[in-house]
Amino acid sequence: MTKAEIVAEISNKTGIEKVDVQETVEAFFNVVKSAMINGENVYVRGFGSFLVTRRAEKTARNISKNTTIIIPEHFVPTLKPAKIFIEKVKNGNKQKAKVV
């Protein structure tokens, strides 16, 4: 599902104009991105947590050049889904498998 499809779905379900929904969705993503760039985690109850995860420094190998390089410590954005969300996805896929 694309962002445009999400906007259309929300617009259809709520009756709010697509332009307004688009601005709201963009604002949500911008808030999440800004918070994570500043090292803050974002928690959305029932959906999951957007976490800033630390990756330790490590040594890697370039096999084609037969050299080693050091990858410095860095941070990556991750999503940890809520338990209830995980269960709904698991059960939803089981129901679809039975129907087919």
DSSP, collapsed to helix, strand or coil, labels residue 62 as: strand
Domain boundaries, the chain: 1-40, 41-100
Q: What is the band of 100 on the pLDDT scale with cuts at 50, 70, 90?
A: very low
Q: What is the band of 92 on the pLDDT scale with cuts at 50, 70, 90?
A: confident
Fold of 41-100: HU Protein; Chain A (4.10.520)
| Residue 79: partners with Cβ closer than 8 Å, 6 or more residues away | 48, 49, 50, 51
Which residue matches tokens 């697509």? 18
- Mean of pLDDT values over 38-60: 96
| Residue 7: partners with Cβ closer than 8 Å, 6 or more residues away | 18, 21, 22, 25
Q: What is the pTM of this model?
A: 0.77
pLDDT (0 to 100) of residue 16: 96
Answer whether 44's CB lies under 8 Å from 80's CB. no
pLDDT (0 to 100) of residue 98: 56
Taking alpha carbons only, the member of 36, 50, 40, 60 closest to residue 81 is 50
